[in-house]
Copies of this chain bind each other. A is one copy, B any other.
């Protein structure tokens, strides 16, 4: 085990022995169940060296395990090499999740088990799952220690404190007052006096504010309590006042155990709360007309940056320049930074050539990044945060001649992307019921990808948001008009190449008839798909029509605002096939 991480695990194990804990569960999240935590809460990384965006650690005296999903298997294997930390794979059929592992594999015949957690960084629902997974004859004691690692993590970063930005109603399309009124009506209907909100994107949405506390996420670390006559925001120097306020009491409190942290939940009066899924999540996901217009406009700007970038890349490689993956990522960032309202990237750009692209969440190295060679495939997955919205786009482009397998995979993934983009479905349909559209062209050729097909995307908020998604999981949330979701099938062949084609698609009404109400998607991302790696006869006539029509729309929309050389190049690139 690498010395640094071994020392830290060892220090934690000392703490465990002193305290009589059988296991410590370290979450990859923060007190707000954020997808990406600020450095202060990157506890998993600090203990293990694993930098993936999703991962939880369990430490016992004779085992350290990291649980992470398909996206990070290759990365985890590399980063954990030599540490002695065992990788537990999730989102695979034979997965053994943490609750089950703790209940059945960790403690043998032991009957009383003490599991320590940093209650700030564990959701109520996670702890419930752990408790209920144990057989009745076992006694599980959850010991919650807020900021547990503080005593051994001496240089732990502070809580971030970036500038708060107020968004005008002309941008959000709905005032904070109106949103609060809506929430109050919801609370009255539920017989509640107030709601405690800890989810940062929900707070940002309802207050119409943004900040930069978390990389790529324009959020402010805070809590919010909305009662019938008060809006109390616990932010910056008031962050910890939430405890005092909760102690004072707000009457009957509505909380969402799916996001609320265990520590905060543990101090609430359980006789005076109502638990349930936050109504903000769904309402936030259904964009209003102003948000939709903003998103469409910003996708024109983002598309211009993308086309300039792809032109630069194409020309540079043709000219024999030595461009690394890192150079390319930086260049794209520069183009995006020119866009008015740009507030940073929406996630770390994945810029990957050849085998690197086979890691779905590849981290482009700053130093000694691989050179993008002539020939084969280059993948770039990136996005921006703007005052008018959030973007997320993946383009995979041939940098010269490609093998038949590269072209076949490229075309099949595009076929899947197009099938989903063209889907029509009855109102009430959930994402898992249309996921097949994107997968079947791959499945028919016995190929597949290990990640979801689509995730919700926020409006100048998280690039991943719920409640809807398009994936194999049995998520019952229907896809509703106004929701924006990604469409991003892929194929990854370790050591060879990785392909992903991603646009954002907006769900819209398609009409109604005797069979009911119908929905469809409108693609809002604007950047051409390279036709150079396509095997035309793998596409159906309808798919070819879609592709030609899309590329033509991209050209017509963007070319008037592109420099002449880029525009001329794009004319060539978007020629009908």
Contacts and interface: CB of A to CB of B under 8 A. Distances in A.
A553 interface: no
A423 interface: yes
Contact of A433 (B432, B444, B448, B493): B432
Given A432-B432, A474-B474, A540-B540, A424 B444 contact: yes
A64 to B, nearest CB: 29
Contact of A436 (B422, B433, B514): B433
A434 B433 contact: no
Among A474, A493, A515, residue most surrounded by chain B Cβ atoms (within 10 Å):
A515
Interface in A314-357: none
A448 B432 contact: no
A443 B472 contact: no
* Interface size of A as a range: 20 to 34
A446 interface: yes
Contacts of A434: 436
Among A425, A427, A436, A511, residue most surrounded by chain B Cβ atoms (within 10 Å):
A436
A476 to B, nearest CB: 7
Contacts of A515: 446-448
Given A433-B436, A540-B540, A426 B448 contact: yes
Among A428, A434, A440, A518, residue most surrounded by chain B Cβ atoms (within 10 Å):
A440
Nearest to A419: B440
B428 A443 contact: no
A98 interface: no
Contacts of A1: none
Nearest to A478: B93
Nearest to A94: B428
Contacts of A11: none
Contacts of A271: none
A493 B514 contact: yes
A437 interface: yes
A440 B440 CA distance: 12
B446 A423 contact: no
A435 B433 contact: yes
Interface in A413-463: 422-429, 432-437, 440, 443-444, 446-448
A510 B437 contact: no
A89 to B, nearest CB: 13
A183 to B, nearest CB: 24
Contacts of A518: 443, 446
B424 A446 contact: yes
Interface in A451-503: 472, 474, 476, 493
B437 A425 contact: no
Interface in A10-60: none
Given A432-B433, A434-B436, A446 B493 contact: no
9 contacts: A423-B440, A432-B474, A435-B436, A436-B440, A437-B440, A443-B518, A446-B511, A446-B513, A474-B476
Given A424-B443, A446-B518, 14 more contacts: A422-B444, A423-B440, A426-B443, A432-B432, A432-B474, A433-B436, A433-B472, A434-B436, A437-B440, A446-B513, A446-B515, A448-B515, A448-B516, A493-B514
